Every structure is written in structure tokens, then in C-alpha cells.
Structure 1
Amino acid sequence: MYLSVYIARSGLCARRKAIAIIKAGFVKVNGKTEKNPARQVEETAEVIFRGRRVTPREHQYVVLNKPSGYFSSCSDECGRKTVVELIGSRERLFPMGRLDATTEGVILLTTDGALAQKLLHPKHDITKEYHVELDKPLHEKDFEIIRSGVDLPDGKIKPDEIRMLGKKGTNVSVKLSSGKNRIIRRMFGALGYHVHGLERVKFAGITNRGLARGAWRKLTRSEVKRLQGL
């Protein structure tokens, strides 16, 4: 990993500051002063900052059951509430993907930027499952249109699976791998429906089962390995 990343992962400082202290000559790698922030170092390297050895911490992986009213970002320049505030970690966690402020449910956060980029890349087709509450019962004709694919201005969207939940006709489960912005709301909106409630109940096989709204937990080792293997 880059030397700047190594130092940031140690918790000593943020990556931007790590770059500055490396360039200033305050860091030694295996006994020699190193001024290149992009120097590749192994986790077993001896990295010294002002006489003190620093070592990277283990990555953190968290699943949060996001409540409505929180933005899926690390910080917000307008002072709005963010999902990171709900966890309160000293680590620099950032969300894997986004849910809009009014959408609830599963969101993963991590310090592992490489895994986050991998999971969010379109080629991996990560499946997400949503429970949707509509303003009126979904007509059978519209159900079939959605199942076959809905034409939107930015292309046709076809879910991996759609099924009804309950007997009222207003609750629907949708599975899809598209990561386009507000895709569920736009898909139903194109057919004249308003989404009253939207919850993501599964992301890459991770669910919010057993988590109260606003609660979170660390992923198990087996869950992390499964994500890394996708």
C-alpha cells in the first residue's frame, strides 16, 4: 500500500496530513528517511514517525440499519445529519454506495477503500433488495411492465426479480443490481406511482435482520470474506 495510506490507517492522522509529514522528512521506512508518499510498503515494514513506530490498524466493516433523515456521506457542508454520526467511530469510515436521505435500511461502511471500490464497480453486479410501499395498489399490467423492463431517459431498467408482499397490493419486493441514482423511485414513478416508503433490506447478501433502526454491528469474518470473494 502507499506509505501515506499506511500512516493514515495507523490512526496517526488523515491521509492528506500524512502526505505532508512524509514530504517534510519526518518519516523513516526500514531505517531510511522516505519523502515519497506513494512509496509502496508492506504491512510488515518498520515505519517510524519522530522516533515512534506506527502500524496500520485492521480495517473496519460495519452494517448500519439507516433511518430516514440521514445522508449517506462522511460529512455534510450544510450541517445535515450523516450516517457516520450514528456510528461515532474514530476510524475514517465511509459508505459503500448511497441511499437517499428518505430511504431506510442496509448500508455498509468501511475503512477498506479497495473493497468499497470493488463492490461499487458496475462489472460486479452486486444485488440489492428493496421493500417498496406504493401510494396505490400495483396494477397487474404495470407489474408485468416492470418485470420486463421500464424505459427511462437514461436507459431501460429491468429488475432481477419483483414480487408482491402481502395482499394489499401496495407492497413490493424488488431485487436489482443497477446502481443508478434513485432508480426504484424513478422506475415506479415512470408508471404513475409514488413511493411512500423505501427500505433496502439486503446489499451483497448482508441484511439488517435483528438491527433496530439506527443501530449497527460489525460484520463477521465470514461476511467480510464473502464480500472479498465477490
Structure 2
Amino acid sequence: MERLQKVIAKAGIASRRKAEELILQGKVKVNGKVCTTLGTQVSSKDIISVDDKIIEKEELVYYLLNKPRKYVCTVKDEHKRNKVVDLIECKERIFPVGRLDYDSTGMLILTNDGDFAQMLSHPKFQIPKSYRVTVKGILDKNDLIKLQNGLVLDDGYKTMPAKVSMTSYDNTSNRCVLEMTINEGRNRQVRRMIEAVGKIVSKLHRMQYGCVKDDNLAIGSYRRLRPHEIKTLKKMANEGISE
């Protein structure tokens, strides 16, 4: 027996949190009857439907995509923009784990495993994410210290300490390149951190997600996550480590 919201998440319909919302909204039926009780125990013999569509068990799949620019990390987009899910050829209903904004590139995990996605994206698990950031303007020592120690964003949120180093700069073009590792994933966080020290990001590339990176994966290409990568990501989340 498993909780209803967990079964929905495992089926790749939605994250567990979203599955709970669907249940409370009366959109879930068990054996033909609407169920609005969170935590309802169901078995493999029960027939579960969401929006009157019966859930069919899918193989759990895990992909790593090197996201190109001009793609959105949503399953649906009202503006008809390119979607990252359309870059991966698979029959399963996959969705991105977290987001990279429209103009950013880099490592993005997609899966139909709702529990796995929830585990990786929840702030309390502090999965480290590393970025290469090209900045308009050259940061000074005080700027770097502020980024490293944590600073207040435009919405009043104080960021956690981050690993930040300047790898190169060019006085002629007035640009510098940073490598940043953060353990959070707030909306446009890296860009907003740079804006908080008075500079603007011109390019943003995620180099690594947790233990997962692939320098040989071309922009727009993807591969399956390897078993040891999946295992290590789960271990990192379970232990709440940040490294």
C-alpha cells in the first residue's frame, strides 16, 4: 500500500506537492469515486484517475539535457515558445527538475519520477548547482565577498553563502567570468545576485547539478542519467549535504 499522492507522483503526472493539490481540488478518483483525502492508502489493484484519465504505470526514466537558449522549462507554454521536453524523444511524460530561465543554458535533469524531482528541487536538501557566469562589468573584491557571504535580493530574501570565484576578466570589453556554486534554486537567483552588486549577467551556463556534469554533451543534446548518478543524487538529497 502507498499514499495516493505518492502513486500519482511516481506515475509522472506531477510532483508530490502538485499531486496533493489535485487531490484537494477533487480531480482524483479511486475506483471511480472522487477522493479528496490526503494520505489515502491505495494498492496496485486500485484504479486511479486524474482528470478522468486512468493512470498507467510507466517506467521511471531520468535524462540529462544540455539546455539551449530560447527554450522554456515548462511542460506547457501559453506563448507557444520552444519547450525543453520537446528536445527529448521518449514515450514517458517527463518534466524538468527545477528550472533554467529562457536565456540560460546547461545541465538540466528531466524525469517522470515525481518523488525524485521533489527531492532534488526542495530547498531543504541543498543540492549544489554550479554555473559559469559572464558579467557585464568587473566585480571588485567587496562584490565577491558579498556574493560569497550571502546578500539580500530585491524581494528581501537573504541568500545562503555561495562559492564564488572570478576566473577571467577583460578591461577592454568590461566583462568578467565567474564560477558560482549555490545550494538554492530561487527564481533567477544567480542573475538577481549579480544585479544586487550592481552588475548584469550576459551569459549563464549551468555546468553541474549535484554530482552530474558532462562537458562532452553538446548544446541541445541529452543522455540517460547513469545508475550511479541517480544513486548519488538520491544520497546527496537524503543526507542534505552541500559540497
Q: Shorter-chain TM-score: which interval? A: 0.7 to 0.9
Greater displacement, 203-212 / 107-116: 203-212
Aligned 8 A contact 1:22 1:36 in 2: no
2:32 is aligned with 1:23: yes
What is the Cα deviation at residue 88 of structure 1?
2.8
In 2, Cα distance between the equivalents of 1:83 and 1:213?
12
For 1:165, what is the secondary structure of its paired residue? Answer: strand
Could you give the per-residue CA deviations for residues 78-115 of structure 1, whole angstroms, max 9, x where no partner exists? 21111001113221101110111001101101010011
2:106 is aligned with 1:105: yes
Question: Out of 180, 183, 192, which is 1:186 matched to?
Answer: 192
Partner of 2:125: 124
For 2:168, what is the secondary structure of its paired residue? Answer: coil
Partner of 1:40: 42
Give unpaired runs (5+ residues) of structure 1: 25-34, 48-53
Aligned length in residues: 207
What is the Cα deviation at residue 76 of structure 1?
1.1
Q: What letter is aligned with 2:43?
A: V
Q: 1:99 to 1:155 in 2, by over 3 A?
A: same
Give unpaired runs (5+ residues) of structure 2: 14-18, 48-54, 238-243
Partner of 1:161: 163
For 1:155, what is the secondary structure of its paired residue? Answer: coil
Larger Rg: 1
Q: 1:46 to 1:143 in 2, by over 3 A?
A: closer
2:124 is aligned with 1:115: no
In 1, Cα distance between the equivalents of 2:167 and 2:128?
19
Q: 1:188 to 1:41 in 2, by over 3 A?
A: same
In the superposition, the TM-score normalised over structure 1's length comes to 0.78
Aligned 8 A contact 1:163 1:173 in 2: yes
Seq. identity, %: 31
Q: 1:55 to 1:68 in 2, by over 3 A?
A: closer
Partner of 1:213: 219
Q: 1:90 to 1:158 in 2, by over 3 A?
A: same
Q: 1:167 to 1:193 in 2, by over 3 A?
A: closer
Q: Superposition RMSD on alpha carbons, in Å? A: 3.0
What is the Cα deviation at residue 191 of structure 1?
1.5
